[in-house]
Every structure is written in C-alpha cells, then in structure tokens.
Amino acid sequence: MGRTIRIFDTTLRDGEQSPGCSMNLNEKIEVARQLEAMKVDIIEAGFAIASPGDAAAIAAIADTVKESTVCSLARCVEQDIDAAYNAIKRAESARIHVFLATSPVHMEYKLKMKPDEVIERIAYNVAYAKKYMSDIEFSAEDSTRSDLDFLCRAFETAIKAGATTLNIPDTVGYMAPEEFASRVRYIREHTPGIENVVLSCHCHNDLGMAVANSLAGVEAGIDQIECTINGIGERAGNASMEECVMALRVRKDYYNVDCNLDTKQIYRASRMIQTITGVPVAPTKPIIGANAFAHESGIHQHGVLANKQTYEIMTPESVGIPQNAIVLGKHSGRHAFEDRLMTLGYHLDKEKLDKAFAKFKLLADKKKVVKDRDLEALVGAVPVSGGERYTLDNFVINSGNSITATAVIRVKHGDETIERVAASDGPINAAFRAINKIVGRDIVLEDYSLKAMTEGEDAQGEAIVKISVDGSDMVTGRGVAVDIIEASIKAYINGINKFFLE
C-alpha cells in the first residue's frame, strides 16, 4: 500500500497575504469549516504575531475546528512563539510552525546573521516551541537557494531540538521539478534523524512550477504538501490544492500514494474563496475553471458523447461539480431548494437558510429558471448575522447620455432611515457618492468589476468592489442582482459593512 500524503492548507495564512485577498473573522471561520469538511489534515490559520485581529481569528478557528490540526506560523522569536501558542492552545490538535531563513542572501541582507548564529537560533527556538506542545514544524525559508550541506545541518539541528515536521520551501518559486526532487533526495540521504520526521514542501509559483515541484517532491519522498485553494498566495501564488490532490488521485497508478481529502468538496471550496476574496479564476484553470469540463470541438464532442473517457480523465462529480436535472423556479418549494444547496455542498443553519430561501423567491420572480451559479451567488450574498451596519432600502437613478447622472440612495442604519442624493458623470459613480454622504467617511474605490453569473438576458450580475475607508487596507465587497446597478450598490455597501465589522 502506498503512502498517505498529508495536505497542509495555508489559504488562511499565505493565501490571505495575497494582495486583495484579505478576509474578516467570520469569513475565515467559514473557510476553516470548509477546510475541515474537506478533511484537510493541517489548517494554517494565520500568523498570530502579525496583529491582534490575526491572533483572534486563529483562536476562533482553534475553538471551531475539531477534526483538523490547527497551526499558527511564528518566526524564530520568543514573542512570536508565545503568541502562536496562546492563539491555538485550545485547539483539539495544535501545531506551532516556526521558520528561519537559511540562504546566503537572506542571512546576509535580511537577518544580518552568520551561519553559526542561524543554527543557534534554530536550536533555541525549536526547543522553546517544543515546551508548549509536541507537534512542531520547522521551515528553512528560501531553502532552495541555500547551500545543501548547511541546509542539512539546519534540519539536523531542528530534529535534535524537537521538530516533528521539516519543511523545504521553494520560497521564490526558483526550482525546476527534477532539481527540486534531487534536493529532497539529498536532504533525506544526508540528514541524521530524517527518517523520524515528516518531510514537507511549500512551493511558490513564480515560474509556474509550484504544482509540478510539489509532485516531484512527493516522488522523492515528501510526505506533506503545503498548498492553497485556487493557488492564491503572495506574488504568483502557491501550489494549487485542487491540482495537487487531483493529480495524486487521478494518477494514483503512477504516484502510488493517496491523501485523505474529500475531493467532492473542491468546487465548493473554490467558489467560496472566489466569492470571499472577489478574485476569480481563469476559465482555463485546471479542475475548477469554467472550461475544465467544457468541450467545443466537434471531434471532442463526438468522443465525449460516445464515451466520456475519450476526453475526460476525471468526472465533474468527482470534484463536486454537480450534474443534476432538477430545475428551480418560482414554484419550487423549500425542500427542493434545500436539497439543491446540499447537492452543491452548502449546509446552512436555519437562520441563513431562511434568509437564502427568501432571496431565492425574490430572484425566482425575476428569472424563469434559477441555475446553480445563481444559487451560489445567492448563498454567497446571504449576510452574516449581526454583520450588516447598513442595508439598502431603495434607490432611484436618473441617467442618460445628455444629462448629468443623479442617484437617490436610501439605506437603513439600525432603526434609522437615511437618504442622500448625489450627481456624477455616470449612474454607478453617482450612487457611490450618495453612499459616501450617508456614511460620512473618506471612501476610495480602488477597483471595480462586473460580470454575468450565467448566460441569458435575465442573468444576474455580480459586482466586485475593492475600497479603502479612511486610508485603511483594501476591503472587498460583493453584490449580486439582476439589475447591475443594484448589484454595484450592494457590493459597495457590503464592502463598507465589512470595514465596520473588522
């Protein structure tokens, strides 16, 4: 029987560091629940020392997740390790993940430390973390540009100090697959005690080889892959979880390994991350892109109709993309609605289900057929309880190519109803200006996008905005409606609500 590869998901830590991918507390908890439902082995919930908000989110995830190990990142610094422990100490299963750079360029210019000083710090801080818990991971940052013998020395030091997992990060996405595999084999052959620990890889995608390097690492003896949903992460991103996992699953005959992940949850997880971050994936993205199971060529269509295996090496159902003939419309009942959501991988509590069903009925009056993508958009738009400071009550737009656009926006703020009017060179900008007057803050629109959720003239529009309020970090807002102006207004208000929630 082959080995079982552990899946270490860092969507909530490395993924969230990607520009424009920040999440609030409730969103992080929802993602953590989804990762647990997917049977991810380790969830890296954040970097506790980074901010009080990060620490609080990690602690909340530690309280929520029961089946997966919850991990916090820490530099080789006592204060970082203390913060990591305090954030995850209530978890059913917890891990502290410490790191220190080992490459010449990092040691000289970032750490300003000599190699022997780096070794001493690794020994001290791994041992310091070990006093808190048994499960300790050590990462040698920029290991793929480190001297191999020095890297083996650093790993031997970490093992002796108590590390149970050693990570080989390709921090800047520098390696080619066979080169990375060769490095893994060298480390395994020249590091005393390596047989007693789990060997991990964390590959970045700067040259587009993060998944290939991770899989090459598995062939060379890697037992844990560190990855993110949709491959989000700093710069060009990380190894994509769905691509790594499905490569291992589909080509089990070649790799002779498996993992514990429930692949039928992949599509749901991907859509969740796209919805929360407002960052879509390309249509040609493997596994979960819109074209991943689409066939336009006549030759391909003929083959697939005769036998799907002619052009499909996996089924849509295997990654959670449903193939279901049930049509939902205004006459559909709550049972069919709830059943369809469950088929799509959504399990809502009663309060959220009530809100979603009410929104579904309103949508069904506007559309003849409510499709799966409509449902995904609708569920993603259901607000978190207590999270809405402002709600849209009414809007009136007056616009044309020969007049100045004006917008009258009325919102509810608690028990108060506020209405403001503004003018601008376009209807959406006028609406945003009216909302700015209501909120009374310096709100800057950093980015705006609009797309159709489905095909057809009655398609819902999905608006994504990225705003900063009073010079804050960017916040992502999302709105969905058949009317694209309404979708844009809802997205803008959603972003403002997220700012206040945070």
The per-residue pLDDT for range 375-429, each reduced to its tens digit, is 877 776 555 445 689 999 999 999 999 999 999 999 999 999 999 999 999 999 9
CB 101 within 8 A of CB 84: no
Q: Give the model confidence (pLDDT) of 429-462 as tens digits.
A: 999 999 999 999 999 999 999 988 777 777 888 8
**What's residue 327's pLDDT?**
60
Q: What is the mean pLDDT of residues 167-173?
A: 98
Q: Which of residues 461 and 344 earns the better pLDDT score? A: 461
Reply yes or no on whether the pLDDT at 33 is more than 80: yes
Mean pLDDT score across all residues of the chain: 91
Does residue 300 register a pLDDT over 80? no
Residue 1: the pLDDT is 54
Query: What are the domain boundaries of the chain?
Result: 3-277, 293-319, 324-382, 391-501
Could you give the CA distance from residue 110 to residue 183 in angstroms, rounded to a whole number?
24
Q: How far apart are CA 388 and CA 287, in angstroms?
A: 34
Contacts of 386 (CB under 8 A, 6+ apart): none
Quote the pLDDT of residue 298: 53
Arch. (CATH architecture) of 3-277: Alpha-Beta Barrel (3.20)
pLDDT at 343: 72
Q: Is the pLDDT of residue 296 over 50?
A: no
Alpha-helix runs per DSSP H in 346-477:
350-366, 372-380, 427-439
Q: β-strand 461-469 against 443-452: which pairing, if any? A: antiparallel
- Under a CB-based contact definition with an 8 Å cutoff, are residues 497 and 467 in contact? no
Check pLDDT > 70 for residue 88: yes
Mean pLDDT of 220-237: 97
Higher pLDDT, 144 or 342: 144
Q: What is the pLDDT of residue 143?
A: 98
Which pLDDT does position 363 carry in this prediction?
82
Q: Which CATH class is domain 391-501?
A: alpha beta
